[in-house]
């Protein structure tokens, strides 16, 4: 599963402002990477039904133990509701001890700039 393509659960209005969330996770071990992959289908199903989700993609580099996510939401509140519910909450809590490095970025953009490219994600996550 190298990359899950940009999926649009709820099409935003063309002129809407959207809240974008990007992340980069690196697991300590290959086993941690496999656990991340094992949880991905349940979280992906949750995103596909999440109120306020305007798009999401996952880039997986499991042999390198690195995972990138990007998603667009109608609001920060919609993102927080998603993160604190469904499959995402227990899976993310269960994986926290497996992480060696994490990075997050959020920003606002116009819906007409979706989908967000991986180059933009990498730039936003640079430290």
| Rounded mean pLDDT, 86-103 | 96
Q: How confident is the model at residue 2 (pLDDT cuts 50, 70, 90)?
A: confident
**Mean pLDDT value across residues 59-80:** 97
Looking at the DSSP assignment, which residues form a beta bridge with residue 61? Answer: 66
Q: CA Rg, the chain, in Å?
A: 14
CATH class of 3-125: alpha beta
Helix axes 88-95, 30-49, angle to 10 degrees: 160
Tokens of 32: 């941690």
pLDDT for 17 equals 97
Query: What pLDDT sits at residue 28?
Result: 97
Which parts of 36-98 are beta strand (E)?
53-61, 66-73
Coil, strand, or helix at residue 34? helix
**DSSP code of residue 65:** T
pLDDT exceeds 60 at position 55: yes
pLDDT in tens, 28-53: 999 999 999 999 999 999 999 999 99
- The domain ranges of the chain are 3-125
The per-residue pLDDT for 64 is 96
């Amino acid at each position: 599963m190298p990359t899950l393509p940009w999926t649009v659960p709820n099409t935003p209005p063309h002129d809407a402002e959207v809240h974008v969330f990007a992340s980069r996770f690196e697991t300590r071990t290959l086993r941690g990477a496999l656990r991340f992959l094992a949880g991905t289908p349940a979280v992906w199903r949750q995103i596909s039904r999440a109120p306020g989700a305007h798009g999401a993609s996952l880039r997986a580099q499991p042999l390198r133990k690195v995972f990138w996510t990007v998603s667009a939401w109608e609001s920060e509140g919609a993102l927080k509701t998603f993160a604190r519910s469904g499959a995402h909450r227990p899976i993310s809590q269960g994986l926290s001890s497996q992480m060696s490095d994490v990075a997050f970025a959020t920003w606002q953009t116009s819906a007409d700039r979706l989908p967000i490219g991986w180059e933009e994600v990498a730039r936003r996550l640079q430290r």
